[in-house]
Structure 1
Amino acid sequence: MKRRRLQTFVIGLVVLCSTTTVLLALALLSAASDPFDKAHAAQRGAHTVAAFDTTKVSPDRLARTARRPGVEAAAGPFGQAVVDIPKDWLWTAGGTLTVVGRADPAGPVDRIELLEGRWATAPGEIVVNWSAQGSPGPELLGTELRTPGGATLAVVGFAASMSRSASAWVSPEQMAALHPTSAQMLYRFTDSSTEARLNASLARAVKGLPEGSLTGAQTHLTLKQAFSALADSYLPFVTLFGVLGLLVSTLIVGNVVSGAVVSGYRHIGVLKALGFTPNQVVAVYLTMISVPAVTGCALGTLAGNALAGPVLKVAFTGIDVGRAAVGDISPWVSAACLVGMPALVLLAALIPALRAHRLSAARAISAGGAPRTGRGLRVQRLLGSTRLPRPVSLGLGQPFARPARTLLTMAAIVLGVTTVTLSTGLTSTMVAYGNVGREDTGARIHVMTGGSGDDRTPPRLSDPQIEERLRSLPGAEGVRARALSQANTAGQTQPVFADFYRGDDSLYEHTIVEGRAPVAAGEIVAGPAFLSQRGLKLGDRVTVGLNGRRITATVVGQLIEGNARALEATWESFARLAPGTPATEYTVRLTPGADARAYAEAVEALDPGLRASVADSGNAGTTTVVTFSAVFTVLLSLVASLGVFNTVLLNTRERRRDLGMLKSIGMTPRQVVAMTVTSVAGLGAVGGLLGIPLGIVAHRLVVDNVGVVDLPEHVKDVWHVTGLAAMLLAGVAIAVLGALAPARSAARMTIASVLHTE
């Protein structure tokens, strides 16, 4: 190790980077499933939450479905009703609340965990489902909700259900007063591994019930998909970088050990002459590798654990996690890295180290002291017959003298170029994605009504007057009004966030990736996560309810992205569901170059009930991906260059006699540098040609598997001739960067110092 400080540093660095990335990938993989599965199992969560029309089927018949084949356990039937809630009640957007009547939170299925207060046991009491992490605190207990029928419900507790079987619960007596027309059954099935098997199990359970009595069902796999949707979108990206890091680690370690064995023949022979057994000689080289590998692995595990918290926070932002403990890395993740990475490194080192195992002492000493028979002479003679400058022809022929080492070096360059290409493509895609909807370069202003914080001053101006004034202010290009409500969809226990828009339709121009924008009442659009988790596609119809009114809506378009629980509709739809309700937010699109700060100040001067802010053009996901890929690309490119450095250093040490003889017949230091750099520049060019298509394929693999975003083709198509040429030069740059230092060192060697032992 002391004789090979640089190689030791290279191995430690590459193992550190690889361990960090692999740990992040494993942490995301674990967080996407383990916390949900553990919390769901602890609460005996329902595999399927089914809703039934009580006008078509009696409670007794529903109760008998619990004894059908394939049903492991069941709870219910529970009365179910939809209650309207006002805006800002418990910080909600207003709209509807799905309420279920249960006598207690226990039972064979969906054991609800109380977070604050107590269970609702009498009329006039309600327990609210708290889906965020932590507890809301006791301060909100006692909050009242007035139902449309005139009854007042007081919040006596907050609870959490991993089954999301309801938004709130009341006692059976209170539910009877709400006059429910639907009932809920909670099932656990013996076979719940896939969505198809869950549907088949439910079909067997409800077989024989009147047609149309089953109005909807929600499976735990849908909830699990919603839970991990954002984390799953980061997983392909992080995993791919982790795999690249592992491959580079293996190549670099193999290259270093192979070079150490070849350049240490004399040392190996002396060790064996002194009595070292073949296994002990192998152990010498494995120990040389294991120390930096274990050190790099330990530091990488620490770095990965430090980075995992922020990465998981971004990955689960806005996700309803319930009682799932997100943020704590499972011990097996760190253990797998601490054991697996050193084992992989030692396995990569063992193959070239076995070469020292086979050498006899006499052969090793003679091979280490005598000049080696040249290889690649035929290629060298062929290049020498060309008109290329002699240093260039000599340099181009050098890789053929050590074909195995050349292949390892070129593989490291290929992976370096692949990483640079992948990172460049991801950065270009994410920047283009961040600019979607901002192609006009104009700033966006968000205007809220009703003030903020403790200042809840209502606006003096009416909804139409506000929109008119916003359009009339200097710099305004377009205005879009927005109203947000919690609505319910047929067959779903969880509410959806419905955004209703009026005005500037140009904001839809670049955000619809399939279909079209909604233009009439009863037309909706949503993001890929919303549609996939509900099994919807373009042309499908869904019933949306709000304030006791219902409309049948058609899916006419798919957004580039969107909340998994949110849909967007027209103002005409909102007028049918909540007539006369004003907008609560406005988005103003300014002309390019307009002063956004001045416009925001002018808005607040219009009415004390308006609050304006300049919309942030940043995106946490974009920043995370770009930063991570940039840092890892720099590290991996540096490591690939260090691999080239190691190869060139070994080559120059092995060719000391040749260099001395070349200098003695007139080769200048500059020609030595040119020859040495040329020996790897060709590898860099070939590595670039091979790495570019691999990087393009890797980029496409990542961008096509981002579940929460459906990227349009123009965002994915980021490759141009100039960019590809730069990627080709990246391979040459990696090779030249790694070769410069040993090339200059070789150029400074004197003839006497090289040939004095001849």
Structure 2
Amino acid sequence: MPFLVAFGVLGLFMAVLVVGSVVAGAVGTGLRRIGVLKAVGCTPAQVVRAYAAQALLPAAVATALGLVAGHLLAVPLLADTAQVYGGAGLGVTVWTDVVVAGGTLGVVALTAAACAWRAGRLRSVDALSVGRAPTAGRGRRAAALAARLPLPRPVGLGLARPFARPARTAATAAAVVFGTAAVTFGVGLSASLGEVVAARNHNAADVTVGVQGPATRGPGAPTVSARTASAVTRAVAAQPGTRRQYGTALTEATVAGASGGVPVLAYDGDASWGGFRMVAGRWLRAEGEAVAAPPSLTAAGAEVGDTVTLTVRGTAVRVRIVGEVLDTSEGGMRVFTDVSTLGAADPDLTVSGWAVELKPGTDADACVTALDRALEPLGLGATSTKYVNGSDMARVMDAMTALLTLMLVCVAGLGVLGAVVPDTHERIRELGVHKALGMTPRQTVVLVPASVVPAGLVGAAVGVPLGLSVHGVVTRAMGRTAGLRLPESVLSVHGAPLLALLALAGTAVAVLGALLPAGWAARVRTATALRTE
């Protein structure tokens, strides 16, 4: 739910922004027509109704197409969700369609009415005389300053343009803000899910022995005798490339407060390097210590520092919780301790799998081959293949994240387009003058995107921190809904290079949104541009 709400809120804000920008631009470029309507006797209220109706006609068609597209996009995602939860087929309810359609058309009508009412209050002569040039003096200082910069003239003219239309520039920056925030949030969420899956797998070992994957598999792990386990440990230690190793034994215990049996993984050796992500406290170091995932601690009513009693084969074993580890296997209902802690309660407990870390530069395949030869008489083998225990829900959420992020980026580009199109249309006479003075089509293409670069930079500078904040809040909320507290390694997934790339991506969205009107402006003939009223 936090995941869906975050994307939904971002999408709503961006949809309102785009609709408002497009409608305001359409009304703004029709001021002369409004003047004509008033000159022939239309009242301000009639002007408002005319423009609201004019905006609602294409909006109604677009809303219908959007509903159809939304249903088509929702079908595969809802099917995947139903498969994960094992439920019946899911669909979009009728009331959702009604709310979406009504809300969209309401936003269009209100925006058009507000913009048209402002124009309708102008005197007829003022509305008829409104030209396409900016208000006298607005942006002149910025243009003079840009002319002094050591930049090509089209770039300087473009960089000065935002100061002539600050409100339109703010709309462009807002579109970039939400687009950059959506990308930052989406990329971070996908990376955080990857960290959670990595923490679930505990895949730090270079070589594993006894099972195909990390030696913590559970009921499927082979049963070996104490003599065989000792021989395997010696064989692994005898390999010249072995840096360190630990063994794993599996048993089951009951814990007060937890229903049913709780899997207990007992380690023979230091397993702190085995890929475990600590949320609080530390990894176990001595006999009588244990670490556990948050759900198992919650079920037992315990926290780090408390003593918990494990009942193993009818024998009570008291362990002190020294750390809280991120672990999602078995619903987080697992306890990790040392073999020596359970020795008296379960004398038959033996190691059934081994995790091996190799020295830097050691050939893992050669080590596996040597271990296979040594372990063949014992009926065990080695592998360097990393065990990957993925998550259906993580895959569904990754797909939804990619789809929703791409949709929001497209909406951000449309928001920029909605602001640049009326601006370019408004200044077509000015562009015609530049063309008459020798500006080439290529320079015109440079000028228009340059005008959105300042807004893109400001939007990216605001959008990246906003996306980081949304990512932190939503990811923590998702962890709480699963009964987990997430470590910093899961939350801090945006490195400095990635943040710089995201900031550049926000500016790129602004530039790409301006390319279409830039191409149109470059193709317009000089005489046509100069004749435009």
What TM-score bracket applies, with the shorter chain setting the length? Answer: 0.7 to 0.9
Match of 2:52 in 1: 282
- Judging by fraction of residues, say which structure has more helix: 2
AA matched with 1:657: R
- Which of the residues 340, 345, 348 maps onto 1:572? 340
* 1:417 lines up with 2:180 in the alignment: yes
Match of 1:742 in 2: 517
Per-residue CA distance 1:381-405 (angstroms, 9 max, x = gap): 2123321465344323433444433
The residue correspondences of 1:502-541 to structure 2 (distance < 5 A) are: 502-507=268-273, 511-541=277-307
The residue correspondences of 1:426-437 to structure 2 (distance < 5 A) are: 426-430=189-193
* 1:754 lines up with 2:499 in the alignment: no
Q: 1:441 offset after TM fit, Å?
A: 6.8
- Does the CA contact (< 8 Å) of 2:290 and 2:319 recur in 1? yes
TM-score (norm 2): 0.81
The residue correspondences of 1:85-234 to structure 2 (distance < 5 A) are: none
- How many Å separate the matches in 2 of 1:667 and 1:479? 71
AA matched with 1:735: A
Unaligned segments of structure 2, at least 5 residues: none
- How many Å separate the matches in 1 of 2:296 and 2:224? 34
Match of 1:44 in 2: none
- How many Å separate the matches in 1 of 2:379 and 2:510? 64
TM-score (norm 1): 0.59
* 1:304 lines up with 2:64 in the alignment: no
- Does the CA contact (< 8 Å) of 1:375 and 1:400 recur in 2? no
Deviates more, 1:619-628 or 1:725-734: 619-628
Per-residue CA distance 1:138-164 (angstroms, 9 max, x = gap): xxxxxxxxxxxxxxxxxxxxxxxxxxx
Per-residue CA distance 1:459-484 (angstroms, 9 max, x = gap): 68733233333444575444433232
Distance 1:672 1:274, change over 3 A: same
Q: 1:664 offset after TM fit, Å?
A: 2.2
Q: 1:576 offset after TM fit, Å?
A: 2.2
- Does the CA contact (< 8 Å) of 2:290 and 2:337 recur in 1? yes
- Does the CA contact (< 8 Å) of 1:487 and 1:544 recur in 2? yes
Corresponding residue SS for 1:514? strand
- How many Å separate the matches in 1 of 2:157 and 2:133? 13
Q: 1:240 offset after TM fit, Å?
A: 1.7
Distance 1:598 1:433, change over 3 A: farther
Q: 1:724 offset after TM fit, Å?
A: 3.5
Distance 1:576 1:296, change over 3 A: farther
- Does the CA contact (< 8 Å) of 1:264 and 1:368 recur in 2? no
Deviates more, 1:416-425 or 1:626-635: 626-635
- Which of the residues 241, 245, 260 maps onto 2:26? 260
- How many Å separate the matches in 2 of 1:729 and 1:633? 16
- Does the CA contact (< 8 Å) of 1:379 and 1:397 recur in 2? no
Q: 1:682 offset after TM fit, Å?
A: 0.7
Count of matched residue positions in the alignment of Structure 1 and Structure 2: 509
Deviates more, 1:468-477 or 1:676-685: 468-477
- Which of the residues 460, 464, 477 maps onto 1:692? 464
Structure with bigger gyration radius:
1
Deviates more, 1:516-525 or 1:740-749: 516-525
Match of 2:422 in 1: 650
Q: 1:521 offset after TM fit, Å?
A: 3.9
* 1:498 lines up with 2:261 in the alignment: no
Corresponding residue SS for 2:267? strand
Distance 1:699 1:359, change over 3 A: closer
Distance 1:278 1:756, change over 3 A: closer
Corresponding residue SS for 1:545? strand
Distance 1:693 1:599, change over 3 A: farther
- Does the CA contact (< 8 Å) of 1:268 and 1:281 recur in 2? no
Match of 2:439 in 1: 667
Match of 1:614 in 2: 385
Distance 1:492 1:750, change over 3 A: closer
Distance 1:329 1:638, change over 3 A: same
- Does the CA contact (< 8 Å) of 1:457 and 1:608 recur in 2? no
Q: 1:545 offset after TM fit, Å?
A: 1.1
Match of 1:443 in 2: 206
Distance 1:330 1:433, change over 3 A: closer
- Does the CA contact (< 8 Å) of 1:383 and 1:393 recur in 2? no
- Does the CA contact (< 8 Å) of 1:391 and 1:675 recur in 2? yes
Match of 1:383 in 2: 142
- Does the CA contact (< 8 Å) of 2:270 and 2:285 recur in 1? no
- How many Å separate the matches in 1 of 2:119 and 2:211? 83
Distance 1:682 1:277, change over 3 A: closer
The structure with higher relative contact order (CA 8 Å, sep 6+) is 2
Q: 1:365 offset after TM fit, Å?
A: 9.6
Q: 1:631 offset after TM fit, Å?
A: 4.1
- Judging by fraction of residues, say which structure has more strand: 1
- Which of the residues 217, 231, 234 maps onto 1:468? 234
Q: 1:687 offset after TM fit, Å?
A: 0.7
Q: 1:413 offset after TM fit, Å?
A: 0.5
- Does the CA contact (< 8 Å) of 1:380 and 1:397 recur in 2? yes
Unaligned segments of structure 1, at least 5 residues: 1-234, 317-325
Superposed CA RMSD in Å reads 4.0
- How many Å separate the matches in 2 of 1:572 and 1:456? 20
Deviates more, 1:597-606 or 1:296-305: 597-606
- Does the CA contact (< 8 Å) of 1:459 and 1:610 recur in 2? no
Match of 2:65 in 1: 295
- Does the CA contact (< 8 Å) of 2:267 and 2:338 recur in 1? yes
AA matched with 2:63: A
